Amino acid sequence: MIESWRWYGDLDTIPLSDIAQTGATGIVTALHEIPYGEVWPTDTIAARKAHITDAGFEWVVVESLPVHERIKRGDGDLSKLFANYRQSMANLAANGVHTICYNFMPLLDWTRTDLTAPVAGGATCLRFEATRMAAFEIHMLGRSAAEDDYPEDVRAKAAVWFQQASEADSEALLGSIMAGMPGAFDRYDLAGLRDALSAYEGIDRDVLRSNYKRFLDEVIPAAEELGMRLCVHPDDPPRDILGLPRIVSDGDDLDWVLGAYDSPANGITLCSGSLGANPKNDVPAIAAKVADRIHFAHLRNVAKDPDGSFEEAAHLEGDTDMVTLVQVLLDEQKRRRAQGRADHLIPFRPDHGHHMLSDLSQEMIPGYPLIGRLRGLAELRGVISALSHAS
């Protein structure tokens, strides 16, 4: 497997020189400074790749080439947006970058209610607290149908939290939820979020699926011609949120995605944390079923609570059997190698880490600390080495 590291370019406080000390050889990055829907210029891609190569790495995965919200909504004439997406793909391929991770989550990317939840020993982690999310939706945002999305006990606790919360508490909650907005654009206040959500009125699961299939129909043929692989990232959290449908949340959803356009170019980013937050998901079993279409892996773990809350666990702790999952990926690599595929190695990265030690005193992107991810990478490296030796 290819040990990789997510790097946010000029937005990242962790330089490539520090990442080199982790032992990772691949970089996962994007041109986050380019607004959604615009073409990624060839020269800008080339400059980013040269920066990465000069530091001793390979740019192994684009994460992400964002899908514009208008495409997700099926809003108006989309021909230019689809053309721009295909041109960006062509420009990436011309620079030797052939794997694109993306998501089809409406409006929000990953969503958490606490960016600094305490864990044993003094570190902190990302946490999704059902009570606080309910308080946000019902009492702060005032979404009319939100009460139907939460059980009575969670609604009661949410009311208590909101009554006791200070203005600073409410601002911190909004800030945590907005931290999951992808890239460098579109952070909302409450009024702005209400307006953004209103644009999705009438878009249910079936409509979103139809819009997603249209996207696949528009871009996968181009990916096939370019020798590229696209891999969708599962929903995070894997449930409807803010009244928005989520359609990449479990094994059945992944089956639908792969069947919507049956092509090796239409694949999966296996995120063990996103899938692992859904209580009904057996992540190793899902991975085994879609193994031939896994083009990239995010390896992390979560610990779930009965009320729907969850938090980031250490990579070898939490609810997902990481050893079994890694074995699935190694078995798939072996199968690809037997087929004679030169691209049999699966790039992975340690996803989300605890903020610990010197991470706590430095400004870092939430969920993407240096020491916490280094710990995760070291643990995963040990699992991979032991399983590879045993086989």
Q: What is the pLDDT of residues 98-129, one digit of tens each?
A: 999 999 999 888 899 999 999 989 999 999 99
- Please state, for a pLDDT cut of 70, what percent of the chain lies above it: 98
Q: Does residue 293 sit in the same domain as residue 335?
A: yes
233 is catalytic: yes
Q: How many domains does the chain have?
A: 2
> Of 261, 351, 355, 359, which one is the catalytic site residue?
351
101 is catalytic: no
Q: Does residue 145 sit in the same domain as residue 219?
A: no
352 is catalytic: yes
Q: Does residue 266 sit in the same domain as residue 379?
A: yes
Q: Does residue 364 sit in the same domain as residue 240?
A: yes
> Of 8, 102, 261, 368, which one is the catalytic site residue?
368
Q: Does residue 122 sit in the same domain as residue 185?
A: yes
Q: What is the CATH number of the domain that holds 341?
A: 3.20.20.150
> Of 98, 315, 352, 354, which one is the catalytic site residue?
352
389 is catalytic: no
Using the 3D structure, point to which of 182, 198, 214 is the last residue of a domain: 198
CB 313 within 8 A of CB 283: no
CA distance 12 to 16: 10
Average pLDDT over residues 236-252: 96
CB 281 within 8 A of CB 318: no
Question: Can you tell me which residue has the tokens 């400074």?
Answer: 33
Tokens of 38: 């615009």
Whether residue 295 has pLDDT greater than 50:
yes
> Of 139, 298, 315, 354, which one is the catalytic site residue?
298
CA distance 194 to 203: 15
Confidence class of residue 184 from pLDDT cuts 50, 70 and 90?
very low
- Please state, for a pLDDT cut of 90, what percent of the chain lies above it: 93
The separation between the first and the last C-alpha atoms of the chain, rounded to the nearest angstrom, is 15
CA distance 242 to 181: 14
Question: Can you tell me which residue has the tokens 């702790």?
Answer: 317
Q: Name the residue range of residue 191's domain.
A: 114-198
Q: Does residue 144 sit in the same domain as residue 238?
A: no
DSSP assignment of 106-154: SS-SS--SEEEEE-GGG-EEEEE-HHHHHHIIIIIS--TTGGGGS-HHH
- Chain centroid to Cα 115, Å, comes to 16
Strand partners, 266: 230
For 319-346, what is each residue's pLDDT tens digit?
999 999 999 999 999 999 999 999 999 9
Alpha helices in the chain (DSSP H): 16-20, 42-54, 69-73, 79-94, 130-135, 152-164, 167-178, 190-198, 205-226, 251-260, 272-276, 283-289, 322-338, 370-390
> Of 68, 98, 139, 233, which one is the catalytic site residue?
233
Confidence class of residue 186 from pLDDT cuts 50, 70 and 90?
low
Q: Does residue 70 sit in the same domain as residue 146?
A: no
Q: Does residue 32 sit in the same domain as residue 172?
A: no
Using the 3D structure, point to which of 198, 227, 243 is the last residue of a domain: 198
Read off φ and ψ for residue 270, nearest 5 degrees.
-80, 105
354 is catalytic: no
- Helix (H/G/I), strand (E/B), else coil: 93: helix
298 is catalytic: yes
Q: Does residue 378 sit in the same domain as residue 241?
A: yes
Confidence class of residue 233 from pLDDT cuts 50, 70 and 90?
very high
Whether residue 130 has pLDDT greater than 70:
yes
Tokens of 93: 């391929």
User: What is the reported pLDDT for 185?
Assistant: 55
Using the 3D structure, point to which of 198, 229, 253 is the last residue of a domain: 198
Whether residue 17 has pLDDT greater than 70:
yes
For 198-229, what is each residue's pLDDT tens digit?
999 999 999 999 999 999 999 999 999 999 99
> Of 125, 200, 271, 355, which one is the catalytic site residue?
271
Q: Does residue 294 sit in the same domain as residue 369?
A: yes
CA distance 220 to 86: 9
Angle between helices 322-338 and 370-390 (to 10 degrees): 60
CA distance 157 to 178: 22
CB 28 within 8 A of CB 4: yes
Q: Does residue 44 sit in the same domain as residue 187?
A: no
User: What is the reported pLDDT for 144?
Assistant: 84
Q: Does residue 149 sit in the same domain as residue 259?
A: no
